[in-house]
C-alpha cells in the first residue's frame, strides 16, 4: 500500500506534467511563491499573483480572512491543490511537515498516531512520553498500545496538541501550519509556540491563520488582502 508521502509525491509529479500550480523542490534553503494564482475547481478566482519568499529559520505569520483562501494556500503549498497558476518551490534539502486544522490520526495504536508518518519503533517510549508531557497529554502515555479510532477518541484540542508532540518528535526544519492552534486556548497556544522556539530553534515556521494574536510569535507577517474582487493579494507586514 502506498504511503501518504508516496501519494503526495505522485500527485506532485502529475501536477508538474499538466496545467495548474506547479510545486517543485530544489529551492536553496527557501520556500518561494512565484506568481501563484489560486482558484476553485469551477474556475472561480480566489487570489492572483501571490509572491513571497521564506528563508530557512524564519518565522512568518500569514494572516487571512476566514474563508477558503488561506486553507487553499496551505493545500497548494502542500502540493494538494492544483487549481490555479504559478509556481511554488520547496527547499530541496528537507521536506516540510504540514499541520492542518483537523489533524490526521491514522487508525492503529496511539504510538502509531504519535509517530506518524514515521513507522512504529522510530522513537522510544521514553521520548514519546516526554513530548506528550510537554503538551499536557501525559495521561495518554499508558495507552500507547491501545488501538482506537483516535480521531473519535480525542477532542479537537487534544488532537492538535498530539500533532505538536509529533512535530517535536520529528524535529522538522520546516513547519507549515493552517490554523493548527485554532482549537487551543490562549495559554496552551502560547506554550506551543514557546516549545517550538525552544525545541526547534532553527526551524522555519509558517503559520497560516486568521488569528491576529498568533502574529506575536513570529518575526514578521504577511496579510492576504482584497485586491480586485473576488481575488486577493499577499502583502508584507
Note the pTM of the prediction, 2 decimals.
Answer: 0.86
Beta strands in 67-179 (DSSP E): 84-91, 97-99, 108-109, 147-148, 174-178
- Across the chain, mean pLDDT equals 88
- The model's pLDDT over 5-59, given as tens digits with 9 standing for 90+, comes to 555 555 555 444 457 999 998 767 899 999 999 999 999 999 888 999 999 999 9
**Computed over its alpha carbons, how large is the radius of gyration of the chain?**
18
Most confident of the ranges 4-18, 195-209, 223-237 = 195-209
Strand ranges of the sheet holding 97-99, from the earlier edge strand across to the other edge: 97-99, 174-178, 204-209, 59-63, 220-226, 232-236
pLDDT value of residue 236 = 60
Hey, where are the domains in the chain?
Answer: 4-94+217-236, 99-215
Amino acid 226: pLDDT: 61
**Which three cell numbers, joined as nine digits, stand for 90?**
520547496
- Whole-angstrom distance, CA of residue 162 vs CA of residue 138: 10
Residues 142-153: tens digit of each pLDDT? 999 999 999 999
How many Cα atoms within 13 Å fall on the side-chain side of residue 170?
A: 24
- Residue 229: pLDDT band with limits 50, 70, 90: very low
173 touches 94 (CB < 8 A): yes
- At residue 10, the 3 state secondary structure works out as helix
Residue 15 confidence (pLDDT) = 47
Q: What pLDDT score does 64 carry?
A: 83
Which grid coordinates are listed for 171?
A: 524535529
Share of the chain above pLDDT 90, in %: 70
Strand 220-226 to 232-236 pairing: antiparallel
Distance CA 21, CA 48 (A): 12
Pinpoint the alpha helices (H) of 51-134: 68-77, 110-115, 125-134
- Write out pLDDT tens, residues 58-88: 999 999 877 788 899 999 999 999 999 999 9
Q: CA-to-CA distance for 148 and 107, rounded, in angstroms? A: 7
Question: What does DSSP assign to residue 140?
Answer: G
Per-residue pLDDT, 59: 96
Cis peptide, bond prior to residue 222, ω within 30 of zero: no
CATH number of 99-215: 3.40.50.300
Q: Model confidence over 88-142: pLDDT tens digits?
A: 999 887 778 999 999 999 989 999 999 999 998 899 999 999 999 999 999 999 9
Amino acid at each position: 500500500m502506498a504511503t501518504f508521502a508516496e501519494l503526495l509525491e505522485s500527485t506532485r509529479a502529475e501536477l508538474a506534467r499538466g496545467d495548474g500550480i506547479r510545486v517543485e523542490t530544489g529551492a536553496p534553503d527557501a520556500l518561494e511563491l512565484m506568481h501563484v494564482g489560486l482558484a476553485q475547481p469551477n474556475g472561480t478566482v480566489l487570489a492572483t499573483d501571490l509572491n513571497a519568499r521564506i528563508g530557512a529559520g524564519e518565522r512568518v505569520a500569514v494572516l487571512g480572512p476566514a474563508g477558503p483562501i488561506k486553507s487553499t494556500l496551505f493545500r497548494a503549498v502542500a502540493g494538494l491543490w492544483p487549481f490555479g497558476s504559478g509556481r511554488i518551490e520547496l527547499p530541496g534539502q528537507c521536506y516540510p511537515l504540514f499541520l492542518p486544522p483537523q489533524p490526521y490520526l491514522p487508525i492503529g495504536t496511539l504510538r502509531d498516531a504519535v509517530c506518524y508518518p514515521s513507522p512504529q519503533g522510530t522513537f522510544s517510549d521514553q521520548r514519546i512520553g516526554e513530548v506528550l508531557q510537554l503538551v499536557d497529554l501525559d495521561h495518554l502515555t499508558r495507552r500507547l498500545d491501545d488501538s482506537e479510532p483516535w480521531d473519535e477518541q480525542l477532542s479537537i484540542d487534544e488532537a492538535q496538541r498530539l500533532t505538536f508532540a509529533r512535530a517535536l518528535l520529528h524535529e522538522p526544519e520546516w513547519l507549515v501550519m493552517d490554523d493548527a492552534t485554532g482549537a487551543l486556548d490562549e495559554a496552551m497556544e502560547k506554550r506551543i509556540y514557546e516549545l517550538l522556539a525552544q525545541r526547534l530553534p532553527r526551524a522555519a515556521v509558517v503559520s497560516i491563520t486568521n488569528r491576529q494574536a498568533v502574529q506575536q510569535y513570529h518575526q514578521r507577517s504577511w496579510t492576504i488582502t482584497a485586491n480586485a474582487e473576488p481575488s486577493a493579494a499577499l502583502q508584507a507586514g
